[in-house]
Amino acid sequence: MATQTMIQLCILLPACGALFIAASSRFPNLREGVTLATAAGLFALVCGIYLRPDALHLAPIILAEPLPGLQLQLTLEPLGLLFAGIASLLWFITSVYTIGYMRGNKEHNQTRLYVCFAIALASTMGIALAGNLITLFLFYELLTLSTYPLVTHHQNHDAIVGGRYYLGILISTSVGLLLPAIIWTWHIAGTTTFTPGGILAGVIAPSMVALLLLMYAYGIGKAALMPIHRWLPEAMVAPTPVSALLHAVAVVKAGVFCMVKIVLYIFGAQLLTATGTNTILIALAAFTIISASIIALRQDNLKRRLAYSTISQLSYITLAVAILTPLSITGAVLHIAAHAFGKITLFFAAGAIYTAAHKTKVSELDGIGQRMPWTLGAFAIASLSMIGLPPAAGFVSKWYILQGAFSADNVPIIAILLLSTLLNAGYFVPIVYAAFFKKETSPPTHPHGEAPWTMVIALTTTALLTLILFFWPQIPLQLAAQLPGVGR
């Protein structure tokens, strides 16, 4: 099979999977079998592409040309490959987890959930492989629309209100800011193709760079820069597997992925450093890191605390790429992977606690570690990764980001990174401490052990992956080295 065909299959496979899942809605076992098979197939496909020697040197694939000069095209580049790999691997693990969660909680409309999951993954693949801004925008919107039914899955009042925030913020920022920014880019540069080194240098007035950068930064609502982060905590009304995959991996990572792509392939490092506009992005990200962490400290709902932690961690990636030194960009790429594995573990654990113990608040978790040792053990490892301590993957990525900041001689950034590490510790350590070392205050309403085994397997696997990534970070490092502004 030609590599081009495999790249197109990456989008087609989950899309066709969605059809088969819908067709097999009457037979739950078959339906879940199809989901798992599609997810496994997708991961195998991405691995297959990675192993192809010619993978990163292909001509763009043109899917369609709706208007003259306006092409939908797919291009494979290192970051997209990494993102596609993470998303497909975690989709498979999440599917295992979802089966346990959905059956354990006897959720309704399970078929719709699986179908939308598959469509969302197809859109994520599209974002990862997009060759120009138009294609990126198309799949970005598709991802928003396909995840809307997932966010509102419970169909109660809270879900509908949460869904309104979700759709309202994401659609209005993308149509109101991202689309104009794309049109502007297209108008002045005559192209929207992602080109290493950027397409804007020399065609945009230096005074306008900051404005366009801001339009992109706030247009990509999925990257959750403050103050357009509100959709993320609101989207926590979704069932936990949805929060786990979409709001720790696919959707938010799509946001920062777009941000990295736009900084490296549209603006180009040179243009941003020459005009000094990357400082704006650094300031915005730094503000988001600190304030989101402070808000997270005050959240009692576990999933909301995780959501604010996500907002803060996403800005690490934005900040790292905005520093624009080779080390910090490597750190950003690593952090995409490290945060994905760490945060999905945390969400899985939150879901497992909800399924087994029906608890959603941090204050209720005293002593739960004895009852659910595996779950809380995984939670502890993932917390280490979030804080940035060895032996978890978060340490490696933070190390690179810090090194990047040192090489840029940027003392304020170093201070902010250290402060946020303290804050991260401040909202994760008490949970772990209370779970393992405090006594249960009141006898639980029902005795419970671990959550269903599929869930436990899923969350221990992802916790293991955070450890593995600490010891063997070669693949993301090697891919990062091929990014513009890092290698070459």
Partner 1 sequence: MTPSAHLPIIQVIIPLLAAPLCIIFRSKSVAWSVALCAAWTSFAVSILIAVHVSTIGSLGYDIGGWPAPWGISYYIDYLNAFVLLIVSGICALALPYARLSVAQEIDSQSQPYFYSLLLVCFAGLLGITVTGDAFNMYVFLELSSLSAYALIGMGPRRRALTAAYQYLVMGTIGATFILIGIGLLYSLTGTLNIHDLAHQLRVNDILSSDNRTLLTAFAFLTVGLSLKMALFPLHLWLPNAYTYAPSVVTIFLAATATKVAIYMLLRFCFCIIGNGTILQMTFGKIILIPSLSAIIVASIVAIFQYDIKRMLAYSSIAQIGYMILGLSFATTTGLTAGILHMFNHALMKGLLFMVMGAISYRVGSVYLSDFRGLGKKMPWTMVAFVLGGLSLMGVPLTAGFISKWYLIKAALEIGWWDIVILILLGSLLAVIYIWRVVETAYFNPAQEIEQETGEAPLSLMIPMWILVIANIYFGIDSSIPLNLAHQAAKILMGGL
> What CA–CA distance (Å, rounded) separates 119 from 142?
8
* Number of residues lying near partner 1 (CB under 8 A): 27
Q: Which residues contact 438 (CB under 8 A, 6 or more apart)?
A: 366, 367
Question: Does residue 149 interact with partner 1 by CB under 8 A?
Answer: yes
Question: Does residue 160 interact with partner 1 by CB under 8 A?
Answer: yes
Strand partners, 132: 193
> What CA–CA distance (Å, rounded) separates 140 from 146?
10
Tokens of 404: 């990047």
Residue 3 C-beta: closest distance to partner 1, Å:
24
Question: Does residue 183 interact with partner 1 by CB under 8 A?
Answer: yes
- Looking up tokens 């992802």 gives 462
Q: Which among 9-17, 124-132, 138-146, 255-263 is the span making contact with partner 1, rule CB under 8 A?
A: 138-146
Please report, for residues 25, 67, 229, 274, the alpha-carbon distance to residue 334 in angstroms, rounded to integers and kept in the order given.
38, 37, 23, 26
Strand partners, 130: 74
The per-residue DSSP string of 231-253 comes to HHHHGGGS-HHHHHHIIIIIHHH
Question: Does residue 152 interact with partner 1 by CB under 8 A?
Answer: yes
Question: Does residue 19 interact with partner 1 by CB under 8 A?
Answer: no
Question: Does residue 137 interact with partner 1 by CB under 8 A?
Answer: yes
Residue 301, amino acid: N
Comparing CA positions, the residue from 309, 303, 159, 289 lying closest to residue 244 is 303
Residue 203 C-beta: closest distance to partner 1, Å:
14
Question: Does residue 141 interact with partner 1 by CB under 8 A?
Answer: yes
Residue 154 C-beta: closest distance to partner 1, Å:
10
Q: Which among 31-39, 179-187, 208-216, 414-422 is the span making contact with partner 1, rule CB under 8 A?
A: 179-187
Residue 132 C-beta: closest distance to partner 1, Å:
12
Q: Which residues contact 367 (CB under 8 A, 6 or more apart)?
A: 434, 435, 438, 439, 440, 441
Q: Which residues contact 190 (CB under 8 A, 6 or more apart)?
A: none
Q: Among 131, 163, 219, 326, indicate the residue that binds partner 1 (CB under 8 A).
A: 163
Question: Does residue 267 interact with partner 1 by CB under 8 A?
Answer: no
| C-alpha 49: how far from chain center | 21
Nearer to partner 1, 219 or 476 (CB): 219
Tokens of 21: 């899942």
Residue 182 C-beta: closest distance to partner 1, Å:
10
Residue 419, amino acid: L
Q: Among 187, 207, 441, 446, indicate the residue that binds partner 1 (CB under 8 A).
A: 187
Q: Which among 30-38, 158-166, 290-298, 299-307 is the span making contact with partner 1, rule CB under 8 A?
A: 158-166
Residue 12 C-beta: closest distance to partner 1, Å:
15
The per-residue DSSP string of 128-149 comes to HHB-BHHHHHHHHHHHHHHHHH
Nearer to partner 1, 50 or 186 (CB): 186
Q: What is the maximum alpha-carbon separation in the chain?
A: 69
> What CA–CA distance (Å, rounded) separates 326 from 426?
30
For residues 427 and 305, the answer to whether their CB atoms sit within 8 Å is: yes
SS3 letters for 146-183? HHHHHHCCCCCHHHHHHHHHHHHHHHHHHHHHHHHHHH
> What CA–CA distance (Å, rounded) separates 281 from 223?
12
For residues 55 and 3, the answer to whether their CB atoms sit within 8 Å is: yes
Residue 57 C-beta: closest distance to partner 1, Å:
28
Question: Does residue 429 interact with partner 1 by CB under 8 A?
Answer: no
Residue 172 C-beta: closest distance to partner 1, Å:
6
Question: Does residue 64 interact with partner 1 by CB under 8 A?
Answer: yes
Nearer to partner 1, 63 or 481 (CB): 63
Interface with partner 1 in residues 374-413 (CB under 8 A): none
Question: Does residue 159 interact with partner 1 by CB under 8 A?
Answer: yes
Nearer to partner 1, 159 or 376 (CB): 159
Question: Does residue 26 interact with partner 1 by CB under 8 A?
Answer: no
Interface with partner 1 in residues 107-136 (CB under 8 A): 134
Q: What angle do CA 284, 215, 325 make, to 5 degrees?
A: 50
Nearer to partner 1, 71 or 461 (CB): 71
Question: Does residue 203 interact with partner 1 by CB under 8 A?
Answer: no
Q: Which among 77-85, 160-168, 269-277, 421-429 is the span making contact with partner 1, rule CB under 8 A?
A: 160-168
Positions that interact with partner 1 (CB under 8 A): 64-68, 70, 134, 137-138, 141, 145, 149, 152, 155, 159-160, 163-164, 167, 171-172, 175-176, 179-180, 183, 187
